[in-house]
Amino acid sequence: MTEDAPVADIAPEIGPADAAGLMDRPEELAFELRAQEGAIWTGGRLLIGIVTFAFASLAFAYFYLRSANNEHLWRPHAITAPTSIGAAIFTIAVASAALNVYGTLRMRRGLVVDWEVSGWTAVLGLLLAIAFQIWELTELPFYPGSSGYASCFVGWAVLNCGLLLGSAYWLETVLARSLRLRRAVAEDGGAARSALPVARLFRANLESCTAFLVFAALVELLFWMLFYVL
């Protein structure tokens, strides 16, 4: 080799194709997939935390106004929202969440159809609970600002519609994704057992959705106790 040989001939630069090849190595792809699964897991739990703050503010207002009871206007004449409609909302919402949990357990055993039936039934149940919640607002025996209880209840009803609608939308998107993946992963064990990246990300999304629905059921239980039982 001569002393005046071009540097490019001694150590050629790495081209774009070579750089892309380095990123396509199995260990790099596996790391990226784990990172995406972790992002879905973390995002779902962060969403639970954000929604918790919204309902925690409502709970604070409830207990503060109830303890203050200025001029005995917290709950005059022991007024309450229609208990029968409230019980129906609570029952349907919790049953929908429980049905989705049951379907998810069946999904883990490879029974995708069972989960899809449970999931679509849960979506319909959540939409029915929203309809009952809206109907209840038209049957209230008090005006929104007539008392502390009335103000808190109307705020709860609006937040509850948003919670149930968000839960139904998330679950519906997961179900729609399952239908789209059915043919793509059929030869690799199905959506429940496939090792393909799309199937793994689908299962991570389903687990986060199920965790959020369980959280929503706990919220329903807490505020049903506050507004209808206590």
Task: For the chain, give the percent of residues with pLDDT over 70.
Answer: 89
Q: Are 211 and 47 in contact (CB under 8 A)?
A: no
Q: Is the pLDDT of residue 57 over 80?
A: yes
Indicate whether 23 pLDDT > 70. no
Mean pLDDT of the chain: 85
102-117 average pLDDT score? 89
In Å, what is the CA distance from 199 to each residue of 22, 57, 179, 190, 220?
A: 24, 38, 12, 8, 31
Homologous superfamily of 82-230: Cytochrome c oxidase, subunit III, four-helix bundle (1.20.120.80)
- For residue 14, the model assigns a pLDDT of 44
pLDDT class for 24, splitting at 50, 70, 90?
A: low
Q: Is the pLDDT of residue 130 over 50?
A: yes
3-state DSSP of 38-102: HHHHHHHHHHHHHHHHHHHHHHHHHHHHHHHCHHHCCCHHHCCCCHHHHHHHHHHHHHHHHHHHH
**pTM for the structure as a whole:** 0.84
Mean pLDDT of 149-178: 94
Confidence band of 5 (pLDDT split at 50, 70, 90): very low
In this predicted structure, the answer to whether residue 2 has a pLDDT above a threshold of 70 is no
Q: Which of 61-70, 121-130, 136-145 has the highest mean pLDDT?
A: 121-130
Summarised one tens digit per residue, pLDDT across range 81-106 is: 999 999 999 999 999 999 999 999 99
Range name among 2-16, 92-106, 131-145, 181-195 with the lowest pLDDT average:
2-16
